[in-house]
Chains A and B, each alone.
Chain A
Amino acid sequence: MLEQSSVGAALGAHIWGWEIAVYLFLGGLAAGLMVVSGMAHRRAQPPPDSLAIWGPLLAPLLLSIGGLALFLDLEHKLHFFRFYTTFQWTSPMSWGAWILAAVFPVSALFALGFRGRRMSNLYTALGAALGIYTGILLGTFGARPLWNTPVLGPLFLVSGISGALALLALVEREESARARLAALDLKLIGVEAGVLALLLIGLATGGAAQRTAAHLFLGGPYTALFWVLVVMIGLAFPAILELLHKRGMAQASVYAPVLVLAGGLALRAVVLLAGQASGWRVS
């Protein structure tokens, strides 16, 4: 066993806190809402209220809150404008800054009712861009093996859409529409569980740094948080509730979607924190 100690600059610096977890969650949610609402508007038949009214309204709102959290995280806020005096194509965060700059006005216009065909297409595309970007932002950090896997992007994307569906199910009043949203969400929960499994398998079968990272969830300090909050509360319980409901063995309730949303936030928080604890030093 390796014994390690150091003086001077801290090892394993703390990078991001709740602000970024909230931003990733709300940003993902907004992106999911935009994709789902945007796609619904491209269909022939008029969408249900959740998709026609709530989705478009909530998207810019949630994104604003997320954006505020992002701003709060900046250690030198007065230099915020520096994001917009340049474009750094190698930096996902620079992409993100510009995507946000586009998403805000477009989603606001969409919410106000500007929903022509081209507008809807643009709206949907920007939603997808936002979703992919929040998904891959962490995934590009080669320094953090836990984040640096190709499945983290899809994972966050799927989780964002799943959260969006859950949120819509919560606000949808019409029974059949809600059932369709719930059914769709159940599938996405399944997909998300699969992607999560891929993430763990990928890490656990990777190199030394990846295996050390996987250990954070498999016996290491983040094990309980991960398995209880993310897997059980965020995925297993809502899936069981939905299944029971589908088989007519339980009433539809707010529990399943609320759990899905809580799980979505927990996923961002746990992955964010554990990723900071992962690195290339293996002990």
Chain B
Amino acid sequence: MRYAMAIDLKTCMACAACIVACKVENEVEENHSRCRVTQLVSGEFPSLKLELLSERCNQCAEAPCVANCPTGASHYADGGIVLVTETKCTGCKACIAACPYDARFINEKGYAEKCTFCVQRVRKGLEPACVSTCPSRAMIFGDLDDPASDLSTLLSSRRHRPLSPEAGTRPHVFYLE
């Protein structure tokens, strides 16, 4: 099993429903979020190009946050999801320094927090909260090891790329072009 996510650049509206659903589902503290929506504008008015990126932890297969964690709090869980065990976390922030995607933060309790692919939902067979609410249905979640999953078929039929692959972490959130 290898969980991954695909996000359709063509239909994402940068509405941030994903951020809000995530905050409510995961009781993320008021001044933090586990995900973000970035808008990139290039070109000159009126010939502009707008890229909308709904971003979160990429659940990297070679996750430097895990490698750099001095206590083993950051670890790989089933399906390749990277998680933090709170009782082991010292709040040393090595993982934050190590993450090329600015996907983590320290919460008010002093622990490193990040997107968990909503493991509490996924283990119950539900989709992550952001995926299940996305009004554009731009987010697709699934098992890469299952060639019949919607995710696998989509990735095999459409051009896609991860963010900053040069960072060398083998990210598992893919953007459909």
Q: Is the CB of A91 within 8 A of B68?
A: yes
Question: Which residues of chain B (162-177) have a CB below 8 Å from chain A?
Answer: 164, 166-169
Flag if A86 contacts B72 (CB, 8 Å): yes
Tell me whether A2 and B70 are in contact (CB under 8 A): no
Picked from B91, B103, B164, B167, the residue with its CB within 8 Å of the CB of A76 is B91
Check if B92 sits within 8 Å of A93, measured CB to CB: yes
A109 to chain B, nearest CB (A): 26
Within the complex, which residue of A75, A83, A143 is in contact with B70, where a contact is CB–CB below 8 Å? A83
Contact A88 B90 (CB under 8 A): no
Smallest Cβ-Cβ distance to A208: which chain B residue = B166
User: Contact between A142 and B98 (Cβ–Cβ < 8 Å)?
Assistant: yes
* C-alpha gap A2/B33 in the complex (Å): 24
Minimal beta-carbon separation of B98 from chain A (angstroms): 5
Chain B contacts for A113, CB-based, 8 A: none
Point out the residues of chain B lying under 8 angstroms from A79, CB to CB: 71, 87-91
Residue in A5, A7, A83, A207 whose beta carbon sits within 8 Å of that of B166 in the complex: A207
B102 touches A13 (CB 8 A): yes
Contact A74 B90 (CB under 8 A): yes
How many A residues touch the partner, as a band? 35 or more
Stretch at the interface among A24-32, A50-58, A236-244, A275-283: A275-283
* Segment at the A interface, from B3-11, B39-47, B121-129, B134-142: B39-47
Please determine whether A94 and B71 come into contact, CB atoms closer than 8 angstroms: yes
Shortest Cβ distance from A3 into B: residue: B41
Q: When the two chains form their complex, are residues A91 and B69 in contact, meaning their CB atoms are under 8 A apart?
A: yes
Compute the total of residue contacts between A and B using a CB distance below 8 Å. 147
Q: Does A11 contact B (CB under 8 A)?
A: yes
Which chain B residue shows the least CB distance to A82? B71
Q: Which residues of B contact A6 (CB under 8 A)?
A: 36-39
Q: Are A93 and B70 in contact (CB under 8 A)?
A: yes
Query: Across the interface, do B100 and A143 meet the contact criterion of CB distance under 8 Å?
Result: yes
Kindly list chain A residues whose C-beta atoms are within 8 Å of the C-beta of B166.
Answer: 207, 209, 280
A70-88 interface with B by 8 A CB criterion: 73-77, 79-80, 82-83, 85-86, 88
- The answer to whether B168 and A9 touch across the interface, beta carbons within 8 angstroms, is no
Contacts of B16 in A (CB 8 A): 7-8
Find residues 57-77 in chain B having any chain A CB closer than 8 Å to their own CB. 64, 67-73
Q: How far is the CA of A94 from the CA of B37 in the complex (A)?
A: 34
25 A-B residue contacts at CB 8 Å?
A4-B39, A5-B39, A7-B19, A8-B36, A9-B32, A9-B34, A9-B56, A9-B105, A10-B36, A10-B102, A10-B105, A12-B102, A13-B104, A15-B96, A75-B90, A75-B92, A76-B110, A85-B71, A88-B70, A88-B71, A91-B68, A93-B68, A93-B94, A142-B98, A280-B167
Q: Which residues of A are interface residues toward B (Cβ below 8 A)?
A: 1-13, 15-16, 73-77, 79-80, 82-83, 85-86, 88, 90-94, 96-97, 138, 140-144, 207, 209, 276, 279-281
Q: A8-B33, A15-B97, A143-B101 are in contact. List 19 more A-B contacts (CB 8 A).
A: A4-B40, A6-B38, A8-B16, A9-B36, A9-B105, A75-B106, A76-B91, A76-B109, A76-B110, A77-B91, A79-B90, A88-B69, A91-B70, A91-B94, A93-B70, A141-B68, A142-B100, A143-B97, A207-B166
